[in-house]
Amino acid sequence: MLSEAMKRPLVECIPNFSEGRRPEVIEAIVRAMRSAGGVYILDITSDPDHNRSVVTFAGTPAAVEAAMFAAIRQAAELIDMTQHQGEHPRLGATDVVPFVPLRDVTMDECVAIARRLGQRVGEELGLPVYLYEYAATRPDRQNLADLRNASFQYEQLKEVISTDPARMPDFGPAELGKAGATIIGARAPLVAFNVFLSTPDVRIADQIARAVRHSNGGLRYVKAAGFLVEGQAQVSMNLTDYRRTPVARVMEMIRREAARYGVTVTCSELIGLAPQDFFVEAARWYLQLDKFVPDQILEMRIQRAEAAEAELIAAEPPVPEDAARPMPAVEPVPPAPAAFVEAVAAGTPTPGGGAVSALAGALSAALAEMVARLTVGKKRYAEVEQTMQAVAAAAADLRARLLAAIDEDVAAFEKVLAASRLPKDDPHRSQALQEATIRAADVPLEVARLALEAMRLAGQVAAQGNVNAASDAATAVFMGLAAVEGAALNVRINAAGLDDPQLAARYRRDVATLVETARALRESILQTVEARAALA
């Protein structure tokens, strides 16, 4: 049992956005999530036929709530429901937002998050909000299908929202704009699972869905509908309690029903993520492992051993100072930074300015993380405890991604060199060089974006963090700006080598915006630091 001090609350959120054909829109929404809160983006799944994307992310309750508000705001700006078409039923740009308790969080706490977020979205963004599942304020809204289904979507809601009392939102105005409405709730884990059939006849998928779903007398805890996806009929399902109705039982029923119509199952797909138990139960049933226990899984046994070791270490009393024996002198090993600097200075093309920019960004994130951790646990900063925990987690994620970008930048430039060394009469040389150049522009562009996020985190700790580390926050800003400026220059240089003028212009436009934002952010944060440290 974890003590209160050791609890690490974790909430999962799986928002569904009404956009599956423009990856740049989903990228912008995900960037907004990362910028607003220290969350872990676990999965992004898009479907052009459904014209829908599902993002799975997790974090502390405060971080998840902040990230989701930013995502709803961004989606409302970029997705126009009056132009939206797709197979999947939908009410709004951000269609459904479920919160799921994962660790050290109760369902009641997730309900509170859902209702608090719903009220804020309604008041600040002016969007109609409906609460569902455990967060529902009335029984007829607990089931998502009662709020939105194939016969009642955005177009139908627009006609009746202001006149039908049954359709009045829980929060926000009783009118529907281009961003539509948002459904927010709290629920237990479910699995989104689709099965494809060897026919384009969607009527067969409809009949099979009718047979397996609970509302028509089928399997308990199964919601299902038929769609046409990529030329194949699909039975699309939500398994709301995979423990009580295992996926193997669902799959076998679909196979039997499909056989009645002379078709077969061609494949299945998982949308987003699923708990380990979901797969374990399927394996147990299909392999007839009657005596199987989860502890037989190698990784689980290792995790248990590591947890026991960590518990033992935590329980051990500190070793008295006089009990320590002197260790023999060891030849000092050059630290990794020294090795990297030597590699940069070696006179080889890589690592070069792109890799150095990525390192600068990683150092910016590391300093922001440091200041956040120096703030956590201090009574003076108790009000920002959760915020600083979220910042530390977000900064750690950025730090890891920027460090990984060092190797990515080196690899990208090596591909450019390899393509340029191909014989000039090689028919594949031009295409290889263009593809390598695009990759060499993409990596520093991502570095610039990540470094800007690190600067924003530095700004947060500069304004709210431990004032004794204000200079560290300012240094994080300087390092972040250096990363953005250096990476942006690399993007521009690579863009100049592209044959596609429109693509080159887009790269230049994107980095110009990032640099302008970073420079303005530097000035704003430095003013904050000077004021808090009484330097002004």
For 311-332, the DSSP string reads: HHHHHSPPPPGGGPPPPPP-PP
- Domain span including residue 231: 191-274
Question: What is the separation of C-alpha 509 from the centre of its chain, rounded to a whole number of angstroms?
Answer: 25
Give residue-wise pLDDT tens across range 267-280.
Answer: 999 987 788 888 88
| Same-domain status, 222 and 341 | no
Burial degree of 492 (CB within 10 A; 0-12, 13-18, 19+): middle
Task: Tell me if 511 is assigned to some domain.
Answer: yes
Pick the more confident residue, 287 or 315: 287
Whether 141 and 130 have beta carbons less than 8 Å apart is answered as yes
Pairing of the two strands 182-186 and 94-103 = parallel
Question: Can you tell me the distance from the alpha carbon of 365 to that of 263, in angstroms, rounded to the nearest whole number?
Answer: 54
CB-neighbour burial class of residue 184 (10 A; exposed 0-12, middle 13-18, buried 19+): buried
Tally of helices (H runs) and strands (E runs) in the chain = 15, 11
Tokens matching residue 190 = 């479910």
- 296 domain-assigned: no
The answer on 198 and 162 residing in a single domain is no
378 domain residue, yes or no: yes
**Is residue 36 domain-resident?**
yes
- CATH number for the domain including 124? 3.30.990.10
Alpha-carbon gap, residue 412 to 220, rounded angstroms: 51
Asked whether residue 99 is assigned to any structural domain, the reply reads yes
Q: How far apart are CA 26 and CA 24, in angstroms?
A: 6
Q: How far apart are CA 459 and CA 528, in angstroms?
A: 8
Model confidence band, residue 307 (pLDDT cutoffs 50, 70, 90): low
Return the CATH number at 359: 1.20.120.680
What pLDDT sits at residue 478?
A: 95
In a domain, 260, yes or no: yes
- Which of 174-178, 302-306, 319-323 is predicted least confidently? 319-323
Question: What would the pLDDT profile of 416-449 be if each residue is shown by its tens digit?
Answer: 888 888 888 888 888 988 999 999 999 999 999 9
| Mean pLDDT, residues 484-510 | 92
Would you say residue 318 lies in a domain? Answer: no
In the listed set 254, 274, 294, which residue is the last one of a domain according to the structure?
274
Mean pLDDT of 121-142: 95
Q: What is the number of structural domains in the chain?
A: 3
Phi/psi at 400 (nearest 5 deg)?
-65, -40
Tell whether 154 and 112 lie within a shared domain. yes
Residues labelled as active-site residues = 88
**180, 129 Cβ separation under 8 angstroms:** no
**Residue 196 maps to which CATH number?**
3.30.70.670
Same-domain check for residues 137 and 225: no
CA dist list (Å): 344 to 121, 337, 348, 401, 410: 49, 11, 8, 20, 11
Write down which residue in 256, 274, 292 finishes a domain: 274
